[in-house]
Structure 1
Amino acid sequence: MTEVRAGMLLVATPALLDPNFADTVVLLLDVDDQGALGVVLNRPSGVPVAEVLDDGWGDLVAEPEVFFQGGPVSVQGALAVATLRADDDVPVGFRPVEGRLGLVDLDTPLELLEGSLDGLRIFAGYAGWGAEQLDAEIDEGSWYVVPGEAADVFRLDAGELWRDVLRRQPGELAWHSTRPVDPELN
């Protein structure tokens, strides 16, 4: 089994029928003995960031400039995921997750972030698992665990992310990218 750690992706398998996670790709942001936390990357909400957050956050986020539905937990709150332009330019309010990918504190004044970020996306809510809960879901076949790429977070069209992530995997896992939505119709 692939190591479950921050920066990895969880790709929903056909066995995962929970409507909160069917056909999703989840970026893991924090994994420890207490559980795991991540955000769904492929569910744009249609709500512009500029309509909810003031002070120019809407100008800083990657296109589409909308909130993404990060998951079913704490949907009234938001998490900001960003990529640094350079490894040696870590602004105040940035917490590394993996490499240049990290979380940005939304209380940080924008002038402290200007010029330091290569991409930013804001997620309403998050996905969370208690201790050993995620391992159990992986063992039952609900998730594929695969390496993530920073570009996965900031795609303009997130609709094909599920297939594209699977397509780039080695071996038989890539075959799953071509499965029909309803195998009965195949």
Structure 2
Amino acid sequence: MEFFKYRNKLKPEKGRLLISEPFLPDPNFERTVVLLCEHNEEGSFGFVINKPSILKIAEVMEEASHLDDIVFVGGPVQQDTLHFLHRNTSITNAVKIQDDIYWGGDFQSLMTQLNTSVIKSADIRFYLGYSGWGQGQLESELQEDSWIVCDFVDDALLFDTDPTVIWKKALDNMGGRFSVYSNYPVDPRLN
């Protein structure tokens, strides 16, 4: 009988989280949490929600020179692209990921609403790049126990939680053995 230490019964799908296993050796995904924005037979994509960059949005976009918000690293794919997640229903053409979490939409609509304080910057996260998996790639990584799938995600985890504790909090929210994993040290030799 094969033993899988992290696998749970949840399958990846739009609106769920991928939580990296505690000792994932990939530096791009060490202690990361990815919000899946799409998952189908052709592949998957989402954004790492807990890795702030050293850049501010004003340094990335002229149109946002009045904003002082940090830009997050959405993943290792196309880091020259800017994306945004938000919790505002008034941005046109936004894609609903799940209750109170939306991806993208009309950028001019976003900027107008930010400039007129209709939308607060605390309700938006900007991401450089994204995380993507080709056909069957994510399933293979799940078989290798690289990821834990979580369906407990809400807008407060994305927008109101300190990014440095999102990984731990996401596992704690799952309860049981996953809460135990959240306390594993980064370096197992320190245990």
Which residue does the alignment assign to 1:12?
20
Instruction: After TM superposition, list the pairs within 5 Å mapping 1:5-154 onto structure 2.
Output: 5-56=13-64, 59=67, 65-84=69-88, 89-105=89-105, 107-109=107-109, 110-111=111-112, 115=118, 119-147=123-151, 148-154=153-159
Structure 1 spans left out of the alignment, 5+ residues: none
SS in 2 for 1:175: helix
CA–CA separation in structure 1 for the residues paired with 2:58 and 2:17: 28
C-alpha displacement at 1:156, in angstroms?
Answer: 5.4
- TM-score (structure 1 length as normaliser): 0.86
Q: Counterparts of 1:141-180 in structure 2 under 5 Å?
A: 141-147=145-151, 148-155=153-160, 157-180=162-185
| One-letter amino acid of the structure 2 residue matched with residue 142 of structure 1 | S
SS of match in other structure, 1:163: helix
Q: Which one has the bigger strand percentage?
A: 1
1:77 to partner: Cα distance: 0.4
- Paired letter, 1:24: T
Distance 2:44 2:66 in 1: 28
The answer for the alignment partner of 2:3 in structure 1 is none
Measure the CA separation in 1 of the matches of 2:101 and 2:54: 24
* Cα distance between partner residues in 1 of 2:190 and 2:64: 47
**Aligned mates of 1:116, 1:153 — CA distance in 2:** 16
d(CA) in 1 for partners of 2:18 and 2:166? Answer: 12
4+ residue runs over 4 A deviation: none
Give the unaligned 5+ runs of structure 2: 1-8
Question: Structure 2 CA distance, aligned partners of 1:133 and 1:58?
Answer: 40
SS at match of 1:92: coil
- Determine helix, strand or coil for the equivalent of 1:152: helix
Q: Greater helix percent: which structure?
A: 2
Distance 1:67 1:185 in 2: 32
SS of residue in 2 equivalent to 1:28? strand
After superposition, the CA RMSD in angstroms is 2.1
Helix, strand or coil: the match of 1:74? strand
Aligned length: 178
Relative to the length of structure 2, the TM-score reads 0.84
Equivalent pair of 1:58/1:65 in contact (CA under 8 Å): no
2:185 equivalent to 1:184: no
How big is the shift at 1:55? 2.5
Flag the 1:58–1:134 CA change in 2: closer, same or farther, 3 A.
farther
